[in-house]
Chains A and B, each alone.
Chain A
Amino acid sequence: MNLALSDEQEFLREAARGTLSRFKTLEAAREALDGNDAALPDLWPTACEAGWPGLLIDEAHGGAGLDAFDAMLVLGECGRVLASVPLLGHLPATAILADAPKVADYLPALASGERRAAYLPSQPPTDVDPRWSADPAHGMERPPLATGAAPDAGGEVKLSGAYGFVPDAPGAGALVGVALIDGEPTGVVVMANADGVKIEPVRRYDATRSLAHVRLEDAAATVLDAPVESLAGAWHLAQALIAAESLGSVETALESSVSYAKERFTFGRAIGSYQAVKHSLTEVLRQLENGRSLLYYAGWSRNGAPAEFPLAASAARSVAGRALDQGARTMISVHGGIGATWEHDAPLYFRRAQLSRRLLGGTAAATDRVAGELIAQADAA
């Protein structure tokens, strides 16, 4: 039994914290909201220097050969300071590519970060929805994945379809996801500069989050030989990563709130001594600790118990999404009126919370999958 960080993992986390502390990410987030996009630092070179793009690629192909939990530690540090490092798009894409021997030659460039990929969110079926689906650009109805006819001799296909709110797609060189080829879910990679590929950057509410709608019209794509478990696994990995990133933000929100509750006095005593304030902060801690425990579950199960990874990652996402909402709202309320103004960092975390909870299927889809996975376990028992 060992659910603790190894020395290497502690070091990875501390190094990430140190690296990101060199940038004024929160000031940049505020300026970007005011329209100055140039304020947002390009953190990709920093990520490359630190070796983050290759976290999930094995050492033989130039990566670090680490696992999901290590990647989650880095995402957590990004979440703490709202750093826009395009790993949420890149890492799940590399997880699919690393399972496709056919494209092994491309891995070193992806591991070094010389090339950057973005994952096209492709949700696997559930017990109540047997279809694979893409994230919609609007509304609740989940559109089908892009489709293509049987590949030619070189493994090339022409794909048509759309993927909404693709994280980190703007500026990515390759788009990696799942398409229906001859009706079968199949891993595909599309070059961003290929004919028929339209990447439309979209900004919603949180300027630190780079997103795009991706439309494919007879776009040339390469079919990958990654197994279908790997295609589903990328979706669950993305859930675990955004969960880790969210909990990083909760950590900062809680630390800031606790520190203010100790120094702000009303009616002659620190507001943190009032039960109403103390209990609301304890509630954020409770949700944060639950989320942390589920990150361990997700990190362990991806290799330790792969059949449980969908449940573990979805549960982590579900709890982290609620924790982020609770943490951001509590941060505002504990700080009083000033917490709801442009003067304070709290609105930046609030904006992050609002948007994050709606990406990658949304917290709601993860919660529903938890129910489905458990109902299946109960049926089997």
Chain B
Amino acid sequence: MDLDDTPEQAAQRAKVRAWLEEHKAEAPVLSGPGALTDEAEIVSARRAWQGKLAEAGLAGVTWPKEYGGQGLGPIEQVICNQEIARAGVPGILDAIGVGMLGPTIIAHGSEEQKGRFLGPMLHGDEVWCQLFSEPAAGSDLAAVQTRARQADDGSWRLSGQKVWTTNAQFSSYGLLLARTDPEQHKHKGLTMFIIPMDAPGVTVRGLRQISGEAEFNEVFLDDVELPADAVVGGVGSGWGTALTTLMFERVTIGLGGEGLGYNSVRFAGGIASDEHGRRDPEVRKQLGEIASELLAVRFTGYRTLTALQRGQIPGPEAGLAKVTIVNGAIKAGDLIADVLGPDALDESSEWAYMISFLPGLKSAGGTEEILRNTIGERVLGLPPEPRLDKGIPFSELRSKEGAGV
């Protein structure tokens, strides 16, 4: 049992660290003195920085070499991420594209698609967004209603609405899940598309959250035309393609918990700044309970890495770490606000932003309730909830729901 690098990993870490040392002055400054403030400038600086990271082999580490990656394992990507964090520079802008959508295209895309899209994605020349969730299809993703109809010439026409779309406002392309055959069962009849975000009929609108900032977007599709070769992984195979993306999403979340900045020392620091709070037994009890669980998540991450290193794929139990992180951070924000008083809620406070951000995060990537269902069924082997949507064509299901049945 150890947390040490193998000799190969240590050599890679040294190489990465040396590169970052040499190039970190070129990284965009996002906080503190001299920080960029204009969003367009930030995006363009971060895209350029992503290109440098990719050139140096610090991004897309797990991608095959033929698509610009390093052909290495997840642990080597984690080493790069750790060193990037240690150097205090931003990581890649398009973590969703490089971490989830690119690997999906690598797994299911045509040779033409791989050749055309992967390189610009990895280098930040074209940013991508994930167009899966809809107002009525989140945890139950297979309920998407965005409709794609094929014309006689093979081209497609898409109409519908997507939501929770990170980065859509500056994305060049999106990976989009749409319904192509409503007469099939809900998990069939779905197809994955690549959509240019500047296509006529695509409208992106920022969706402001509790903090007042718009971290996500709504994307409206009004009779958007796509060519026949926009399909990824075959017509009617969209659900399987989406599952690949979701698997990569789990890996990303499982390895990225600490990256959210919800760690026990930071929260202890929030309490420690108050002379009375740091000695109050009830405050200490709550801090101790919250912090113990967050510490556990760090080592759950190491367990996940060990599994990956041995060629195993992390299962849905990685979702449990997400539940712990989000609920722990919610309790920590509450405790810190109790200790610091209304000042913790000043709009300029790091805690106010965190407190605002967390209620939404509880539902991100699947609600806590659906995660607990999945884990109860797949990990503990408990029987599934009875379902009313199996074996019924999607069109009938919709009319039943409309009738309130």
Contacts and interface: CB of A to CB of B under 8 A. Distances in A.
B265 interface: yes
With most chain B CB atoms within 10 A of its CB, the pick from A6, A279, A290, A368 is A290
A1 B265 CA distance: 23
Contacts, number: 183
A134 interface: no
B268 A285 contact: no
A197 interface: no
A229 B310 CA distance: 36
A69 B300 contact: no
Interface stretch (A152-160, A200-208, A293-301): A293-301
Chain A contact residues, majority secondary structure: helix
Contacts of A370: 287-288, 291-292, 295
Contact of A294 (B281, B287, B295, B369): B295
Contacts of A316: 292
A1 B305 contact: yes
A372 to B, nearest CB: 7
Interface string B173-212: 0000000000000000000000000000000000000000
Nearest to A301: B3
B380 A296 contact: no
A278 B264 contact: no
A1 B269 contact: no
B11 to A, nearest CB: 15
Interface string A64-87: 000001000000000000000000
Contacts of B284: 128, 367-368, 371-372
A318 interface: yes
Nearest to A254: B380
A128 B283 CA distance: 13
B386 A269 contact: yes
Contacts of B303: 3-4, 293, 296
Nearest to A261: B382
Point out which of A273, A293, A316, A379 has the most chain B C-beta atoms below 10 A from its C-beta.
Answer: A293
Given A291-B296, A318-B292, A374-B291, A285 B2 contact: no
A378 B265 contact: yes
A275 B309 contact: no
A286 B375 CA distance: 10
Interface string A275-290: 1011101110110011
A110 B236 CA distance: 69
Nearest to A273: B383
Contacts of B375: 282, 285
A188 B78 CA distance: 47
A314 B285 CA distance: 12
B334 to A, nearest CB: 16
A104 interface: no
| Most A C-beta atoms less than 10 A away, residue of B266, B281, B302, B377 | B302
B287 A299 contact: no
Interface residues of B, number: 58
Given A3-B306, A370-B292, A371-B291, A297 B299 contact: yes
B125 interface: no
Contacts of B5: 1
Contact of A262 (B75, B296, B310, B381): B381
B45 interface: no
B292 A319 contact: yes
A181 B400 CA distance: 80
Contacts of B265: 374, 377-378, 381
Contacts of B298: 293, 297
A296 B283 CA distance: 27
A269 B324 contact: no
Contacts of A297: 295-296, 298-299
B354 interface: no
A273 B306 contact: no
B285 A371 contact: yes
Given A1-B305, A281-B382, 10 more contacts: A1-B309, A3-B303, A262-B383, A269-B383, A270-B382, A278-B380, A290-B296, A370-B292, A374-B268, A378-B266
Closest 5 CB pairs of A and B: A367-B288, A374-B268, A378-B269, A290-B296, A293-B299
Interface of B: 1-5, 9, 75, 264-269, 271-272, 278-279, 281, 283-285, 287-289, 291-293, 295-300, 302-303, 305-307, 309-310, 317, 320, 323-324, 369, 372-373, 375-377, 379-386
